A and B are shown apart, each in its own frame.
Chain A
């Protein structure tokens, strides 16, 4: 009997219950809420479900995640391994054709980065250091991998909050953007039907990723891995002779890495690091960044509308935040509500992919200015 009691006591003292605190309880509830949103409400379930479950796992005391596969997954997030691999898949899935056919939409992608810098300035004003503010600001780019990439380099202590804010707002794009788009545009502007895009040659689709990689990487070497993988994936897609690599990049590989990256993001959400006032500030700043980015893109779209005699539908500007292809889909949906015969999706893909490049450039610029590599 004594042996039995000793054994039970040993199991109890070794269990997580002993070290379970209210913070863990709150974070497990947060994880359950995120799981509910993923499964019942279908808010980006592919991303949100592993994040949510990772959050639950991270808040089990004495989970032994200091070693083994969970340690490797966490290392993949912290050491900038997963974001470039995600970008490889994104590149393989992305058609740069609409952007190449209408290069002026690059400026919409640039204008939407205003959200990044408004949040950055706001974060510095309320007391975050410059590197922390830069990492927080990039949430406004609506680009999860770039947010994690920059946070890991500049503010690893804020990685969990930044990653969660970035992915949460990305999944809420269809809720956050439309009110801002409608507020800043008139019915007449939203109903503009844009001219059909010209055909883009195979040569242009091959030359663009190569030349842009060389130019941007020489200018901002700190984002070479991110941008290089994006463009390599795109070359797999466009070359016409690497179909198997393209298929793997845009299906199997990106799915595997998404599981690792999203779970690893969830693992950063332990109560000790997550339940702080800074997290609340980051969540609020992220929302401000997102709204300002959307507004910046739409306002620049309005400027283009005025300058080109009403040929540009300002709604495509909101796609300049880089949540690909959700932001472009939102432009399409809002445009179709104003004019059911309006098909803005391909036009919105131009600023959408420009936003991906723009956010990476913004990240590279901040890294260069802050002296981090």
Chain B
């Protein structure tokens, strides 16, 4: 076993080792910061604004569906009125397009 003089002095040995541990972990910290900065997959600050636009698209696409579904709307209105409510109390009847990802919606879609 080799060894050297600094390894024989406990306090010097301790000081050198602690310094090396801190330095190595500091470099790892720097690697993390740099990786975060150069991350090509990182979301750009203006990206949320972009994502709003596509989100609006299904609504506009869904609108004609509602317009062409007048018999369905009439049937739902009739059913609600039959339960004792007035048609004035119905605020809106909308297709469940916003929850397209949900399993129930998927099952319902499968019926048509």
The answer to whether A and B interact is yes
With A203-B35, A203-B40, A372-B1 as contacts: A130 and B13 at CB distance below 8 Å: yes
Among B5-53, those with CB < 8 Å from A are: 6-8, 10-11, 13-14, 16-18, 20-22, 24-29, 31-33, 35-36, 39-42
Q: Does A264 contact B (CB under 8 A)?
A: no
Specify which of A133, A208, A354, A369 lies most central, judged by the most chain B CB atoms within 10 Å of its CB.
A369
Q: Does A362 contact B (CB under 8 A)?
A: yes
Q: Does B2 contact A (CB under 8 A)?
A: yes
Number of A interface residues in the complex (CB < 8 A): 44
Which A residues touch B17, using CB under 8 A?
113, 116-117, 120, 362, 365-366, 369
SS class of chain B's interface: helix, strand, loop or mixed? helix
Q: Does B103 contact A (CB under 8 A)?
A: no
Task: Please pick, from B8, B13, B18, B35, the residue contacting A204 in the complex, using a CB distance under 8 A.
Answer: B35
Which B residues touch A125, using CB under 8 A?
10
With A208-B31, A370-B7 as contacts: A114 and B40 at CB distance below 8 Å: no
A82 shortest CB reach to chain B, Å: 23
SS class of chain A's interface: helix, strand, loop or mixed? helix
Among A102-126, those with CB < 8 Å from B are: 103-104, 106-107, 109-110, 113-114, 116-118, 120-121, 124-125
Asked if residues A100 and B41 are in contact (CB atoms below 8 Å), the reply is no
Interface residues of A (CB under 8 A from B): 99-100, 103-104, 106-107, 109-110, 113-114, 116-118, 120-121, 124-125, 130-131, 133, 154, 201-204, 207-208, 211-212, 215-216, 219-220, 354, 357-358, 361-362, 365-366, 369-372
Interface residues of B (CB under 8 A from A): 1-4, 6-8, 10-11, 13-14, 16-18, 20-22, 24-29, 31-33, 35-36, 39-42
